[in-house]
Homo-oligomer: A and B are copies of this chain.
Amino acid sequence: MNQVEKQVLDSIDVDGMLEYICELISIKSLTGDEAEAQANVAAKMKSLGMKVDKWILDLEKLREHPDFSMEVNRTEGIGVVGIMGEYTGGKSLILNGHIDVVHAGDEANWEHPPWEGTIDSGKVYGRGSTDMKGGLACALYAAKAIKDAGVKLKGKLIIESVVGEEDGGVGALAAVLRGYQADGAVIMEPTELKIAPAQAGALCFKIKVHGHSAHACVREEGVSALEKFIPIFNALLELEKTRNERVDDPLYSNFKLPIPLNMGKVESGNWPSTVPESLLLEGRYGVAVGEDIEAAKQEFLDALEEVIEADPWLKEHRPDMEWWGGQFKPANIPVDDPIVKTVESAFKDTTGSAPVFEGVTYGSDMRHLVNVGDTPTVLFGPGDVRYSHRPNEFVPVDELVTTVKTLALIILRFCGY
């Protein structure tokens, strides 16, 4: 680590950063409702002397893009990008974070309030703390440290605050289509400080199974949709097994199910004494890194078709199947890409330890940056995805500190100064 790097690390305002994370948590930026939070981030970028690009997403046009997917009924989306650096020869770098968060669920299950950042025993609690307002704040405070240390970047640093990651990534797609591409990118999703040059895919689906209603007292005259669902359940479980046995990517060797097929929600029937006339299954289908998306879909449909063909009722009353909601394609980049190497060296110098390389099993905006924007991208950020999307979400303060330091070094080394 040279003198400039040390000076920048010394300039990091950790207390200010923690305070800012709490400020962001207190703005309830549910997917589809991020305007206030985006205005806040844009103001923060301005205060760092960044050139700010804030625009209204052209949702109608975005809908036509083959990589578009969305679940919420969004009426508005705002893009916010801050730019720093002179662009006098260095490489360009994107640091990307999403500002939208998922619902808090039953707030009674939270020990600390979801819509208020709370720092307690070395952790920041609140909805979005780890997924991923913490990581986004780290990027902003890494840029702040560079400014505060008086360092001028050669390459362009682009910090993106995007909307709608949770339901398909419309914000990241919009930023790519607005022209934000770079020589490398880091998305500060919670990776437990592991470096993830690969992201599995996840395709959400719905299946509706049809039965025939009857009063329970003449159950024999009805057809239970629940009963007709059982072979579909078994077939999908078997499909998951077969597909996961095929995955031999060393980046996923720690996972028993690198590409899980999750049957997450089932609703059937409406009365104990009535034969259920339909069943609705909602789930998500994992797709392996490098796997052809259309082939993966076909494999799913084939497994379903086999069940249908084997059952005269299902053959006559075909279940409805649709790919619905988040359609996260997989993405990956070579492990020796310059951005990977830069993150590795920065992490080593920050922590004194070698990083762990591991793919993630969840979908993220990485696919838009890599697949559409042609920008080599890694995921690297504080916290654990296991604690996101549930009560008492938190991010450890020490991981925030490691992240902001590592990001500062990444910026300096990748963009030059």
- The chain A residues found within 8 Å of chain B, CB to CB, are 200, 202, 204-205, 213-221, 224, 226-227, 230, 233-234, 237, 255-257, 260-276, 279, 282-284, 286, 325-326, 360-362, 385-386, 388-390
Checking B264, B266, B272, B390 against A216 with a beta-carbon cut-off of 8 angstroms, the contacting residue is B264
CB of A278, distance to nearest CB on chain B (Å): 11
Give Cα A250 to B220, complex, Å.
Answer: 18
B282 touching A325, Cβ below 8 Å: no
Residues of B within 8 Å of A234, CB to CB, are 230
Checking B255, B261, B272 against A283 with a beta-carbon cut-off of 8 angstroms, the contacting residue is B272
A264 touching B260, Cβ below 8 Å: no
B276 touching A219, Cβ below 8 Å: no
Counting every copy of the chain, the complex holds 2
Give Cα A194 to B261, complex, Å.
Answer: 52
CB of A240, distance to nearest CB on chain B (Å): 9
Give Cα A323 to B204, complex, Å.
Answer: 37
Output the nearest chain B residue to A105 by Cβ-Cβ distance.
B270
Checking B255, B264, B272 against A275 with a beta-carbon cut-off of 8 angstroms, the contacting residue is B264
Give Cα A214 to B385, complex, Å.
Answer: 10
CB of A94, distance to nearest CB on chain B (Å): 23
A272 touching B276, Cβ below 8 Å: no
Give Cα A275 to B390, complex, Å.
Answer: 12
A284 touching B216, Cβ below 8 Å: yes
A219 touching B275, Cβ below 8 Å: no
B267 touching A266, Cβ below 8 Å: yes
Give Cα A247 to B224, complex, Å.
Answer: 22
